[in-house]
A and B are shown apart, each in its own frame.
Chain A
Amino acid sequence: MAELVNNKSPLARQPVEDTAISPWKEGWRSFKKNKVAVIGLLIVVFFILMALFADLLAPYSYESQKLADKHLSPSAEHWFGTDEYGRDILSRIIFGARLSLWVGFVSVAGSVIVGLVLGLLAGYYGKWVDMIISRIFDILLAFPSILLAIAIVAVLGPSLRNALLAIAIINVPTFGRLIRSRVLSVKEEEYISAAKAVGMRDGRIIFQHVLPNCLAPIIVQSTLAIASAIIECAALGFLGLGAQPPTPEWGQMLAESRAYILQAPWTVLFPGVAIMLTVLGFNLMGDGLRDALDPRMKN
């Protein structure tokens, strides 16, 4: 009897499930299912943590030289060996993560903001506004991006800040065009006409209805752009146009050590692997985000 009393009706036991799932939460759900993308996310998080806690993690200072210890092969004391000035490569890579990620995030943030404003204007207002903005994008895209970056740095002078600026500039048209095309299609949606029919003003329509519907592709493209920004930063560093020594920049580490590739391969191997891993992480994550957020992938 007691059991019967305690045994609730099967209807009563059903938990009231929260049915309201925002599209963003749904995107996160399908992202979690994608194992490769989660691995990418883990790699990215690993490097971000490394960059944040570089001071605590690095066993040595990134700039203290010890010429007696030059070109030591990897050992318990120096896990990744030392370079031509006897600096600990592991420590330099850990500090280098800070730099590369900084360049990646800041330059992409810059290009997104500028690209967003230009793309929204061009897409929403069309006509001559679109003409001018789109032609500027066309001109910027006509140059191979790395050449354009080299030209910009050559004019402004080689430094990390200018490299960052150059990378931001060369990425603007990609974002601008992406956003413009997205705005063009969102603009034709009936909910935009409906918003107008309710009596909303342009500014509110752009920020409340158009912009949120453009965010998903922007997030995806940003992740992928961070990866290419890191490579571009390394390339500029390698050419001596980015960070200046003794700043531990991965590309510049490669450039300094390439003469010793046969005698001390670890001096080239580890910075190279670091670049490869970060870029791989961002790319895997970006692909996963695309699958999760792209409306065309959904059924």
Chain B
Amino acid sequence: MEYPMIEVKDLQTSFRTDTGEIPVVNSVSFHLEPGEVLGIVGESGCGKSVTSLSIMGLVPTNTGKVQGKIQFKGENLATASEARMRKIRGNEIAMIFQEPMTSLNPLFTIGEQLTESLRIHRKWNKKQARARAIEMMKLVGLGRAEALMDEYPHQLSGGMRQRVMIAMAMICEPELLIADEPTTALDVTIQAQILELMKKLNRETNTAIMMITHDLGVVAEMCQRMVVMYAGKIVEEGDVSTVFQSPKHPYTVGLIQSVPDMREKKERLYSIPGQVPKPGSQKLGCQFAPRCTHAMDRCLSEAPPLQPFNNGQKVRCWLYGDGKGADIYDSAISSS
């Protein structure tokens, strides 16, 4: 088949509130090939998690609305029925959540929760499912897997629980794994182990991973391509190495600058002034303009389009000409 494994096109997810429908994710498009690792980066509240929930079909139907196309192996998930989505969830697309401490039901053993999706999707019996679960736990590096099967979540550490969550997500061999800040709640050494584990699983099973994070370090470590989101829109997109070497959008530049660098001794860590605007609060112009040090008059009145560069990078910013995609202002940013 010619089309990519998953292609999101003009995704717009909005929520109904008292003041009307507010778009939280706005005309987001990206695609993923089998076995690829894509990073989705941005501050809290810029629509990363809502994007992943939209793909999973888990946006609450009573308040949320998903528009656009989510082509998964040629099937549009945005219009798929709930019954069809249930078949896909956990089976073809799996998800890891941010909080390993609360993502497991405290009243059931690890084994019961691990085997659940096998019993739902594959209709396996207890014995088969248990054997597979133990095998999976060993794969994610949990020692004494047999004993752990009968333990309760509160007896496990955060890192162990996140391994269990990964095992749970990978147990049906999904083609796409959505990891929503999988390492945010863990401490640094465990973070490294979990990332290493996900890399290994990606290599061995060829599962594509959509890595949602606000940690640029994680992206640099894990991903081949990255998408930077701001206020529900993609502001920059490209290969990880290209974006890190020559970030174009002032927001991306700011994000990269605010990562502490061990080689340099700075008095103060850089931070982008201001905060992400509340969804729907700003109607006109570039969403980033109020915080941008390079903002021009035009930025406040007209929303910039996503412009492609020759090297595959795409940027949503007026600094780069009138949609010509020229690289002329590169020096203006790097010198600041």
Contacts and interface: CB of A to CB of B under 8 A. Distances in A.
A138 interface: no
B105 A198 contact: no
B86 A199 contact: yes
A131 interface: no
A194 interface: yes
Interface string B280-304: 0000000000000000000000000
Contacts of B90: 197-199
B55 to A, nearest CB: 11
Nearest to B107: A212
A200 B119 CA distance: 10
Interface string B82-114: 000111111100110111001111111100000
B70 interface: no
B272 interface: no
A23 interface: yes
B151 interface: yes
Given A20-B150, A197-B90, A201-B86, A190 B102 contact: yes
A126 B106 CA distance: 24
A199 B89 contact: yes
B97 A199 contact: no
B103 A191 contact: yes
A194 B85 CA distance: 14
A20 B112 CA distance: 13
Contacts of A29: none
A199 B99 contact: no
Nearest to A215: B107
A23 B120 contact: no
Nearest to B88: A199
B129 to A, nearest CB: 13
Contact of B89 (A21, A22, A191, A197): A197
Given A20-B152, A20-B155, A197 B105 contact: no
B160 to A, nearest CB: 13
A57 B88 CA distance: 64
A195 B102 CA distance: 12
B147 interface: yes
A190 B113 CA distance: 14
Given A194-B97, A197-B94, A200-B116, A213 B152 contact: no
A197 B54 CA distance: 12
A190 B99 contact: yes
User: Which size bracket describes the interface of B in this complex?
Assistant: 35 or more
Given A190-B103, A213-B107, A198 B152 contact: no
A22 B90 CA distance: 27
Interface string A159-200: 000000000000000000000000000000111011111111
A224 B179 CA distance: 45
A199 B120 contact: yes
A296 B233 CA distance: 41
A23 B108 CA distance: 9
Given A126-B62, A193-B58, A198 B147 contact: no
B105 A191 contact: yes
Contacts of B150: 20
Contacts of B168: 194, 198
Interface residues of A, number: 22
Contacts of A194: 95, 97, 103-104, 165, 168
B321 to A, nearest CB: 43
Nearest to A24: B107
B269 to A, nearest CB: 31
B73 interface: no
A21 B153 CA distance: 11
Nearest to A192: B105
A209 interface: yes
A206 to B, nearest CB: 13
A196 B62 contact: no
A191 B102 contact: yes
A213 B94 CA distance: 24
Contacts of B97: 190, 193-194, 197
B121 interface: yes
Contacts of B154: 23
A199 B83 CA distance: 9
Contacts of B155: 19-21
B56 interface: yes
B117 interface: yes
Given A22-B152, A127-B62, A190-B99, A198 B107 contact: no
Contacts of B56: 197
Nearest to A204: B120
Contacts of A21: 152, 155
Contact of A191 (B62, B85, B104, B117): B104
A20 B110 CA distance: 11
A196 B152 contact: no
Interface in A73-100: none
A19 B58 contact: no
B176 to A, nearest CB: 12
Interface of B: 56, 58, 62, 85-91, 94-95, 97-99, 102-109, 116-117, 120-121, 147, 150-152, 154-155, 165, 168
19 contacts: A20-B151, A20-B155, A126-B62, A190-B102, A190-B103, A191-B105, A193-B58, A193-B97, A195-B105, A195-B116, A197-B90, A199-B86, A199-B88, A199-B89, A199-B117, A199-B121, A200-B116, A213-B105, A213-B107
Leading 5 A-B pairs by shortest Cβ distance: A198-B90, A199-B90, A199-B89, A197-B95, A190-B103
